[in-house]
Chain A
């Protein structure tokens, strides 16, 4: 079974902090994705990566950056966390087609 693991289930950070959300997949998938999910808005794509050291902006990249130094790991970075970044963050991976294997989600609260 494909396993996509996100480092934290729940996270509370202060405004202005630098926040790292980590995602690791164990199936040698090329494609990895970061989404955020908000009530009434559904899932929205933040960034994605088709290969190591490659990254592409999704629909809502502002305020975020990503890092993919190794194939299995895709990190989402909030350079200076703000309260409007309080959300559920979901990582996904896939081989070939865009991702249908999701992690368990990280619920981030910025206070």
Chain B
């Protein structure tokens, strides 16, 4: 069974540009969550999508957005990149039992460097 796949693995962008990251969840998982990992702030929740709808949102500015497609694949977009957006972006997927999510499985992440 394939795991969570994130593409690309590495990205280098310039300040002011925008970037799109992709996440393919484990087959059958309908929930996809995104996290930002930095040395200073640790792991922080960005948002979660379920059945193409944003279900939870963290405390990030509107420059960070996402979406989910009918096949549960998800993308996140960061516009007007800042140096502080340099981070490892992790995607996690989970399935639902009895209306509640089971444990989350993470991808290997996309390392974004903003120069």
Chain A bound to chain B: no
Which A residues lie at the B interface, using CB under 8 A? none
Which B residues lie at the A interface, using CB under 8 A? none
